[in-house]
Amino acid sequence: MSWRFKILNGKDTELYSYIKGDDFLEIDSSLLQLLKENEQDLYDLINYRWGLILETFNSTPRINKKVKIMDEREIKRSSLNKFKSYLDLENKEHKCFICNKKIEDHLSIDHVIPWSYMYSDDVWNLVYVCQTCNSSKNNRIPTRIEIIKLIKRNKNLLKCMEDNGINNKIYDELKISIEKDYVNKFWTGSKS
Ligand SMILES: [Zn+2]
């Protein structure tokens, strides 16, 4: 319990009384009703604070988003098709990232570092894979060779975007990911 909760709308309020060392606190019954009415908001707030605390000693990205998603039992995965035009710049022939074969049908876009770890779609982590490789890959953590390959791919992709005069949010995100070495950082994090 914190003194912070005692200040409400700028006014000092006696929300509860607590004597340090006691294993109980006193709270007015009308306030209990108020807490009950705002239960969901308070719950979100507590989760948010908890996420912030976890993020200070854990390299896992987007803890808050994960906590919320797990709470709501709702996972929204958006279409990756919007990334095709960028991936095509660097991989016109649609070669599979894993087996290197040209993909003739069922072109899939895959997260190299699993989506279940990232909870995010980022161009620096997306590649084309064939159906065979896609179905056998599942959520496995990428190998060192794949990580080196992805780092090289991202550098090439950045250059391709520059050559094509692309200067948007996707370009910025890719550039930052290279500067901050996201591939290595999140790969290391996903293994732990
Ligand atoms: Zn393949």
Q: Say how far apart CA 100 and CA 153 lie, in whole Å.
A: 13
For ligand 1, the distance from its centroid to the CA atom of residue 146, given in whole angstroms, is 13
pLDDT averaged over 10-residue windows placed end to end, the chain, 192 residues: 56 71 79 78 75 66 64 62 96 96 93 89 96 84 96 98 97 96 94 81
For ligand 1, the distance from its centroid to the CA atom of residue 130, given in whole angstroms, is 4
Would you state the pLDDT for residue 118?
86
What separation in angstroms does the CA of 70 have from each of 43, 51, 53, 54, 119? 13, 12, 18, 15, 11
Would you state the pLDDT for residue 71?
53
Surrounding residues of ion ligand 1, Cβ less than 5 A:
96, 98-99, 130, 133
For ligand 1, the distance from its centroid to the CA atom of residue 175, given in whole angstroms, is 27
pTM to 2 decimal places: 0.64
For ligand 1, the distance from its centroid to the CA atom of residue 177, given in whole angstroms, is 25
Q: Are 99 and 133 in contact (CB under 8 A)?
A: yes
Would you state the pLDDT for residue 160?
98
For ligand 1, the distance from its centroid to the CA atom of residue 97, given in whole angstroms, is 7
Would you state the pLDDT for residue 43?
73
